[in-house]
């Protein structure tokens, strides 16, 4: 029983559950936005659902509908999730300087400290 308790309390189960709930809610928002944009495309092109469109006898309408929906979804995720997240991460959590890059002032202070320690009588 302790193993299960550790799994639930120490693992990322709660984080994962919250992510699933938020993703589900966000998915519904994106679906609604895709529907609105597809209706706008339909007003321009004549129909919001291309599933029955068969130019030259080829059934490519369903593919076009799914492709346009995917592109809209990708744009929504990029502009409303990825870009703001990247900007916030860069602002609030800047990259740490590389450990190889040593500040010359720090090196100078270390040399001064070492020379003071080496002096007799101090």
Residue spans of the domains in the chain: they are 2-118
Mean pLDDT of 60-81: 83
Residue in this structure with the two tokens 């321009």, named with its chain if needed: 44
Q: Which of 68, 84, 80 is nearest to 36 (CA)?
A: 68
Confidence at 67, pLDDT banded by 50, 70, 90: confident
pLDDT of residue 97 exceeding 80: no
Q: What is the pTM of this model?
A: 0.50
What's the pLDDT at 98? 64
Q: Give the distance from CA 37 to its chain's centroid.
A: 23
Half-sphere exposure of 11 (CA within 13 A, CB side): 9
Half-sphere exposure of 95 (CA within 13 A, CB side): 5
């Amino acid at each position: 029983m302790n193993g299960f308790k550790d799994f639930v309390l120490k693992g990322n189960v709660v984080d994962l559950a919250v992510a699933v709930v938020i993703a589900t809610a966000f998915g519904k928002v994106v679906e609604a936005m895709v529907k609105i944009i597809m209706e706008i495309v339909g007003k321009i092109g004549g129909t919001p659902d291309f599933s029955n469109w068969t130019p030259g006898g080829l059934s490519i309408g369903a593919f076009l509908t799914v492709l346009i929906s995917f592109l809209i979804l990708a744009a929504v995720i990029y502009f409303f999730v990825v870009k703001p997240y990247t900007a916030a991460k860069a602002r609030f959590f800047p990259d740490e300087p590389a450990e190889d890059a040593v500040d010359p002032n720090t090196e100078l202070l270390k040399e001064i400290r070492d020379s003071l320690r080496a002096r007799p009588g101090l």
